[in-house]
């Protein structure tokens, strides 16, 4: 598609985050992994926080092999003691925190449950999705804000939302509700903490080629095969593509996230940035 060629995975802005410490939750793979890697290439010292220790340490190893600096913290964002720990660890190792990117999230309740219309949804899917996406983001923001306010030097928070934070979507009620909550949280933080020099924005993508998307697609295909009358999550009258008729890449989303996190976006706060290929434009 002429004009819509994805950003090169090897592209970065040299030294954009030189001297800064960037924390990324869900930072080991997919959008989070691409964000962690590119932030390090742009000069950041990166704190990768994830529940997947194997993937997290692998991401750290890649950054170090490229000459960057990173540490791993095993973090379950639903546990406040873990989100407090990740801030303490960043300060212990690197002496400060400048940017927090809250990317940890689930679409399917963490893989143990299947998304479904509300009257068919399991309690596990509903509760786990809300717990990770809403309370996990709140926990992370609360401890990041505590540090930024006490430090008194400002700070940046970028929350990773979804196109479903800006519109509806069939068959995933808890995910849609949770991402709308992230939108509201982002705006509330921007308002409350502007006097402290703290910016807060969200980045909201449509379908992106990540492990979470692969799991969701497998579930949809299985349901279509076993119960086609109940499983079609793209019904007549609903959009199937945006203006850019392809999935985005994790590197495209990392590019937008890091722009919002950088001083290039110094006049942007409270924004719900639609990095959705034009999905919400029509």
- The residues assigned a catalytic role are 175
Contacts 24+ apart (CB under 8 A), 39-42: 39/99, 39/258, 39/261, 40/66, 40/68, 40/69, 40/70, 41/12, 41/66, 41/68, 42/12, 42/13, 42/14, 42/15, 42/16, 42/17, 42/18, 42/258
3-state secondary structure of 109: coil
Distances (CA, A) of 169 to 115, 157, 235, 253, 282: 12, 26, 11, 20, 15
What gap in Å lies between CA 56 and CA 179, rounded to an integer? 24
Name every residue whose Cβ is closer than 8 Å to that of residue 178 and which is 6 or more positions away in sequence: 105, 129, 130, 132, 133, 134
């Amino acid at each position: 598609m002429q004009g819509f060629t994805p950003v090169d995975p090897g592209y970065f802005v040299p030294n954009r985050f030189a001297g800064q410490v960037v924390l990324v939750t869900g930072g080991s793979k997919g959008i989070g992994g691409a964000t962690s890697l590119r932030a390090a290439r742009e000069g950041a010292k990166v704190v990768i926080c994830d529940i997947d220790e194997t993937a997290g340490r692998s991401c750290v190893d890649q950054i170090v092999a490229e000459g960057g600096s990173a540490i791993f913290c095993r973090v379950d964002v639903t546990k406040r003691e873990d989100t407090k720990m990740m801030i303490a660890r960043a300060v212990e190792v690197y002496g400060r925190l400048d940017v927090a990117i809250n990317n940890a999230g689930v679409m399917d309740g963490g893989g143990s449950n299947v998304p479904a219309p509300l009257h068919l949804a399991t309690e596990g899917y509903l509760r786990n999705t809300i717990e990770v996406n809403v309370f996990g983001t709140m926990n992370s923001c609360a401890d990041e804000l505590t540090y930024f306010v006490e430090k008194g030097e400002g700070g940046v928070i970028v929350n990773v939302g979804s196109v479903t934070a800006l519109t509806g979507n069939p068959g995933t009620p808890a995910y849609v509700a949770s991402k709308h909550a992230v939108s509201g949280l982002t705006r509330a933080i921007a308002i409350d903490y502007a006097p402290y020099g703290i910016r807060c924005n969200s980045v909201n993508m449509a379908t992106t080629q990540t492990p979470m998307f692969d799991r969701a697609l497998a579930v949809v295909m299985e349901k279509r095969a076993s119960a086609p009358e109940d499983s079609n999550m793209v019904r007549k009258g609903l959009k199937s593509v945006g203006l850019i008729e392809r999935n985005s890449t994790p590197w495209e989303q990392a590019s937008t996230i890091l722009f919002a996190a950088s001083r290039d976006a110094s006049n942007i706060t409270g924004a719900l940035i639609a990095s959705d290929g034009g999905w919400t434009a029509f």
